[in-house]
Amino acid sequence: MKINKIEKRKEIRNLHIDSLFAIFGELYASKGAYTAFRGSNFILINRLYRERLLFLGQEVDSEISNQLIGLMVYLSIEDDNQDLYLFINSPGGWVIPGIAIYDTMQFVQPDVQTVCMGLAASMGSFILAGGEITKRLAFPHAWVMIHQPASSFYEAQTGEFILEAQELLKLRETITRVYVQRTGKPLWLVSEDMERDVFMSAAEAQAHGIVDLVAVE
C-alpha cells in the first residue's frame, strides 16, 4: 500500500502539536486557578491554540512566561507567515519574565497582534506595547497602566540596597527605551509618566501610542 507523503507529514505534525498542547494543558491544569482547563474545556483551549490565540490572564511570572514563549516559538515553526494573537488581561508582575515574553514576540517570524481586554497594567502594558505596530488593539472599556519597576527587597544590608537600586535603574532605563521606541513618544514624556501609576482609558492608551486601535462597541 502506498502512503501519501503529504498526509503522513500532516499526521506527524498533528501528533507533535497535540503532544505539545497536552503538555502545556497539564501545566496549566496543575495550578488551582486552571483546573477548569481539564476535560471538555481543555479541548476548547487546544482549539484556541490551534487558531494561534494565546492568553495572558494572570500575573506575569516565570511559569506563564515560559509557557507563552514555548507556544509562540512552536507555532512560529508550524507556520511562520500567519499572525499570532495575544489577549492580555493582567495586573502585571515580574519584570524579567515580562521582558522575556516581549523579546520572544520580537524574535518570532510571525507578527504578534496584542489585544487588551480588562486591564493591562505594569508588565501587562509593556507586553501590550510589544505587539506588532499597527496591530495593537484595546477593547473599548479596557484600561492600561504604566509605572516604573519596583523592588520588594526590604530586609537587606545597605550594600545590597545599593546594588538593588542600581539594577532597578538599569531595568527602568531598558523599559523606558522600549516604551519610547514602541510609542513614538519623547523620552521626557515617557519618563515623566513612569514616575507614578498612570491609568489610561483605551482612547488615552491609543493617544499615548501603546495601542493603535480601539475596538468599536
pLDDT in tens, 39-55: 556 677 778 888 999 99
Same domain, 65 and 170: yes
> Helices in 30-94 by DSSP H: which ranges?
40-50, 62-78
Please give the residue range of the domain that contains residue 99.
Answer: 54-214
Same domain, 47 and 59: no
Domains in the chain, number: 2
Average pLDDT, the chain: 82
Same domain, 176 and 195: yes
Same domain, 103 and 8: no
Same domain, 171 and 80: yes
Q: How far is CA 145 from CA 34, 92, 97, 124, in A?
A: 26, 9, 18, 8
Same domain, 184 and 101: yes
pLDDT tens string 94-116: 999 999 999 999 999 999 999 99
CA atoms within 13 A on the CB side of 136: 27
Same domain, 11 and 90: no
pLDDT of residue 149 exceeding 90, the answer is no
Q: What is the pTM of this model?
A: 0.79
Paired residues of 199 in beta bridges: 145
For residue 195, the one-letter residue type is E
Active-site residues, by number, are 122, 147
